Structure 1
Amino acid sequence: MSTVKLASKRLLLKALSLNELVHINNGEMNSSELHIEPEAMSDTALLAIAKKIKKMQGVHEDNHNWYTYWLIIDKKTEKGIGFIGFKGLPDENGYSEVGYSISPNYRKKGLMTEALRTLMVWASEPPSCKAIVANVLKTNIGSIKVLSNCTFQLVNSNELENSYLHNF
C-alpha cells in the first residue's frame, strides 16, 4: 500500500500503515517517523487503534485506507495532533462510518472540521461511497458541532447517542 496523504490549509492527513499502527499501539510512536503529541493518545484512541489493527489484518491491503486511522498532522508543528478514519469500506448502501479524535490542546480551533472536510473529499471520489455516517454521544458537544459544520444531518437518536448522515 502506498502512503496516501491529503492536505488542507493547516493540516496534512496521512493514512497510517498497519505497521505504523502496530508501532503506535506498542508505544513506539516517536521511534518511527511519526511524531505524535502525547495528549492525542487518549485511552479511547488507543482502544480504537487496537481494533483497527485486528480489522486491517483481515482485509486486503488495497482496502486499508478505509480501515486505518489517518494521522492529523499540524503543518505548523509537524506533529500528529489527532486521528480520523472510517470503520471500513462502504456497505451495500454505500455508507461508511467515520470516527475521530483530537488532542485537547487543539480543540475549538476548527481543525477537526477541517480534517473531516478533507477526508470527506477523499471518500466522495469512489462511486461506491454514497454517504458518511457518524454516531456520537449526546454529551459530545464538540463532535456534534464538527458534524454540523460539515453539513451532516441528524437522522436518528436514542437516549445516549445521535446518528448523523452526510450524503454525497
Structure 2
Amino acid sequence: MPITLRLMSIAELQAIANATQSDGIEVGTEADGLPPPFVAMRSLDHIQAGKPADWCSPFLIIRNSDQAILGACGFKDIPRNGRVEIGYAVSSKYRNQGVATAAIQALLDLAYLNRSVAEVLATIAPTNEPSIRTVQGLRFEKGDMTIDSDGQQIVCWYHRRVHLPENVECTIS
C-alpha cells in the first residue's frame, strides 16, 4: 500500500498529550490509530531535552491515494549502541491491509540511512499474533521475552542491517 510518513507537529503532540485532538488530526482519523497520550508526552519531553524530532516524534501514516490517516509509527528515542526501537499502531479500520508492513519498512529504511544504526528493535506482546506475523514477514528475528515498564510480558524482535545502499536519499515531510 503506498503511504507517506508525516512527522507529527509539536501542536499535534501537545493536543494528544492533553487528551484532546487538533483539527489537523481529528478529521478522518480513528482514535485507536493515533499515539496514546503517554507517547506524545514522551516525545515532547525528548524534543524539549534537545533530541532530534525525527528520532523522537511519531509519524502519521498517510495513505497516498486519499490522504487518510491510517495510524502512526516512529522511533521511541535516539539510537543507542547501534540500536533504535520502533513503535507503531494502525487504526482497527485499516488493519490487515498491509499498512503496518509498509510503515515498518519505511521506518527500517529511515533507520538504516543513519550509518550508526545496525539494528532495529520492536517489542510485541506474545499474544499479538498479527503484529508478530508482520515483523516475521519483514525478517525480524525473535529474541527474549521480558517484562516492560507496565509489568506486561513482551517479546523482543530484532531486524539487523544487511547492507546500506550507496547514494540513498530519503525525505520526511
Give 2:31's aligned residue.
39
Give 1:90's aligned residue.
79
Unaligned 5+ residue runs, structure 1? 1-8
Relative to structure 2, which stretch is displaced further, 18-27 or 127-136?
18-27
| 2:86 aligned counterpart, secondary structure | strand
Deviation at 1:53, TM superposition (A): 1.7
* Counterpart pick for 2:58 among 69, 81, 85: 69
Q: Are 1:20 and 2:12 an aligned pair?
A: yes
Give 2:89's aligned residue.
101
1:83-162 matches, within 5 Å, as: 83-91=72-80, 93-158=81-146, 160-162=153-155
In structure 2, what is the Cα distance between the partners aligned to 1:33 and 1:114?
21
Runs (4+) of structure 1 exceeding 6 A deviation are: none
- 2:29 maps to a residue whose letter is E
Deviation at 1:95, TM superposition (A): 0.2
Give 2:164's aligned residue.
none
| Structure 1 contact 39–105 (Cα < 8 Å) conserved | no
| 1:88 aligned counterpart, secondary structure | coil
| 1:138 aligned counterpart, secondary structure | coil
Deviation at 1:111, TM superposition (A): 1.0
Give 2:48's aligned residue.
57
What TM-score results when the alignment is normalised by the length of structure 2? 0.80
| Structure 2 contact 111–117 (Cα < 8 Å) conserved | yes
| 2:36 aligned counterpart, secondary structure | helix
Deviations 1:89-142 (A, max 9, x none): 110x21011011010001011111011101211110111111101111101112
Q: Are 1:11 and 2:23 an aligned pair?
A: no
* Counterpart pick for 1:163 among 141, 156, 159: 156
In structure 1, what is the Cα distance between the partners aligned to 2:63 and 2:88?
15
In structure 2, what is the Cα distance between the partners aligned to 1:85 and 1:103?
15
What TM-score results when the alignment is normalised by the length of structure 1? 0.82
Give 2:169's aligned residue.
none
In structure 1, what is the Cα distance between the partners aligned to 2:66 and 2:37?
22
